[in-house]
């Protein structure tokens, strides 16, 4: 027991490794934007290490070399000002700051340019690109694809190796859009449109977060960027606009019509295909969600718990709780079966 405190650093290390959640790290950059930003981080880190090593070496040397020794009565020579030293320690920091500033300013301009002309290919040649308008809501994300006239909620599908141009907006307070593995963060500010771009070379699910304190459920305002190959993306976009017919209740297991319950209680806020409101996330592909409400496992139990008591899961969100008077158990079962079947990619 006496040495239990020795476990402290170990548990600290274990705790910190928990921070390396898959694809939620700016230190594992994917694509040109994240890589550019990562190399700037590395550059400043190396410069800082360089300065630290020199300063600490001189410091330690001076402490040992000039410490008072027993019987030392001699007071060192008092000097004031040394032109050579002054010039050296003014010039070196200026050079270091220039080394930092030049690539930073150059990359800032590259990143700020969301244009799509391909300079290497010549005038008028466009880079493969799509535009996504990202609207932040307390506490969920809306992704509109103006070129495809589709909207998705919480999960943003993108084609790989394509420039994704992002326009950031907010419907209420200030939020901030961050997908660490793909690009640095930028704010969603009401009344202002900010833009940015990124590309994902690899297929995969990239985690995103709201990084501006925006209300009681801010910490659960997670989303996903799902990069798929361009063909899959086209299928996805086509089917989002016109989802395949749903075979609700294929085995005839549930007596109540889930779609009917949805139309009665949910459609005023949630759209499936081009039908329905947009106060809440579009649910056209709910059955393919990686997460429920951004952060829960999309199991039946969690879905029911969420519908019954959404205010418990995300306090302050705009969806009402549905108790047993609003939706009875039978209707709930049918509704869940209906939602799980909302798939547009797999059969």
Binding mask 204-243 for Cu ion (x = CB under 5 A): ------x---x------x----------------------
* Residue from 175, 209, 224, 289 binding Cu ion (CB under 5 A): 175
Q: CB under 8 Å to 155, separation ≥6 — which residues?
A: 143, 223, 224, 225, 226, 285, 289, 290, 291
Nearer to Cu ion, 216 or 277 (CB): 216
210 makes contact, choosing from Cu ion, ligand HEC, none, with CB < 5 to 8 Å by partner type, with Cu ion
C-beta closer to ligand HEC: residue 32 or 281: 281
Instruction: Please give the backbone phi and psi of residue 157, each rounded to the nearest 5 degrees, phi first.
Output: -85, 135
Can you tell me the distance from the alpha carbon of 55 to that of 271, in angstroms, rounded to the nearest whole number? Answer: 61
How buried is residue 241: exposed, middle or buried, by Cβ count under 10 Å (0-12/13-18/19+)? middle
* b/e 248-272 (16+ beta carbons within 10 angstroms → b): bbeeeebebebbebbeebbbebbbb
Range list of β-strands (E), the chain: 129-137, 140-145, 150-153, 155-159, 163-170, 175-179, 183-188, 194-198, 204-210, 222-228
Residue 111 or 271: the one with the smaller Cβ distance to ligand HEC is: 271
- From the list Cu ion, ligand HEC, none, which binds 328 (C-beta under 5 to 8 Å, kind-based)? none
Q: Locate 70 and state its tokens.
A: 């027993």
Min CB(309)–ligand HEC separation in Å: 12
Cβ 149 to ligand HEC shortest distance, Å: 20
Q: How far is it, in rounded angstroms, from Cα 92 to Cα 295?
A: 48
CB of 175 or CB of 224, closer to Cu ion: 175
> How many residues form the binding site for Cu ion (CB under 5 A)?
4
Residue 158's nearest CA partner among 136, 131, 126 is 131
**CA 220 to the chain's CA centroid:** 12
Least distance from ligand HEC to the Cβ atom of residue 203, Å: 21
3-state secondary structure of 122: coil
Measured from the CB atom, the residue of 187 and 341 that comes closer to Cu ion is: 187
Indicate the DSSP class of residue 117. B
Q: Which is nearer to ligand HEC, 25 or 248 (CB)?
A: 248
Q: For residue 134, state whether it binds Cu ion (rule: CB under 5 A).
A: no
Q: How far is the CB of 169 from ligand HEC (least distance, A)?
A: 16
Q: What does 281 interact with, of Cu ion, ligand HEC, none (CB < 5 to 8 A by kind)?
A: ligand HEC
- Cβ-based nearer residue to ligand HEC, 30 or 217: 217
What residue ranges bind ligand HEC (CB under 6 A)? 139-140, 153-154, 265-266, 268-270, 279-281, 286, 289, 292-294, 307, 314, 317-320, 322, 335
- Residue 175 interacts, among Cu ion, ligand HEC, none and using kind-specific CB cut-offs from 5 to 8 Å, with Cu ion
DSSP-assigned beta bridge partners for residue 130: 164
Summarize as ranges the residues that interact with Cu ion (CB under 5 A). Answer: 175, 210, 214, 221
């Amino acid at each position: 027991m006496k040495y239990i405190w020795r476990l402290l650093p170990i548990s600290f290390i274990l705790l910190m490794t928990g921070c390396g959640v898959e694809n939620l790290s700016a230190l594992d950059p994917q694509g040109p934007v994240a890589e550019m930003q990562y190399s700037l981080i590395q550059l400043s880190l190396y410069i800082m290490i360089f300065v630290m090593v020199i300063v600490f070496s001189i410091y330690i040397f001076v402490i040992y070399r000039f410490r008072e020794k027993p019987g030392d009565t001699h007071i060192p020579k008092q000097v004031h000002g040394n032109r050579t030293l002054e010039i050296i320690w003014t010039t070196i920091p200026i050079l270091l700051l220039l080394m930092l500033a030049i690539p930073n300013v150059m990359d800032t301009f590259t990143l700020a340019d969301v244009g799509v002309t391909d300079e290497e290919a010549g005038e008028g040649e466009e880079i493969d690109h799509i535009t996504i308008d990202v609207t932040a809501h307390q506490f969920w994300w809306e992704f509109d694809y103006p070129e495809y006239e589709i909207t998705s909620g919480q999960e943003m599908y993108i084609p790989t190796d394509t420039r994704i141009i992002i326009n950031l907006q907010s419907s209420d307070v200030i939020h901030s859009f961050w997908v660490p593995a793909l690009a640095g963060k930028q704010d969603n500010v009401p009344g202002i449109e900010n833009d940015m771009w990124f590309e994902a070379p690899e297929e995969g699910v990239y985690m995103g977060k709201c990084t501006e304190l925006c209300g009681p459920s801010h910490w659960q305002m997670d989303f996903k960027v799902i990069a798929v190959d361009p063909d899959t993306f086209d299928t996805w976009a086509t089917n989002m606009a016109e989802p395949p017919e749903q075979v609700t209740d294929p085995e005839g297991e549930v007596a109540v019509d889930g779609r009917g319950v949805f139309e009665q209680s949910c459609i005023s806020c949630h759209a499936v295909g081009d039908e329905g409101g947009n106060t809440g996330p579009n649910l056209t592909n709910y059955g393919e969600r990686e997460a429920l409400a951004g952060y829960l496992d999309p199991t039946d139990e969690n879905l029911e718990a969420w519908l019954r008591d959404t205010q418990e899961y995300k306090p302050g969100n705009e969806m009402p709780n549905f108790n047993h008077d609003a939706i009875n158990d039978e209707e709930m079962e049918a509704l869940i079966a209906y939602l799980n079947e909302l798939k547009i990619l797999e059969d």
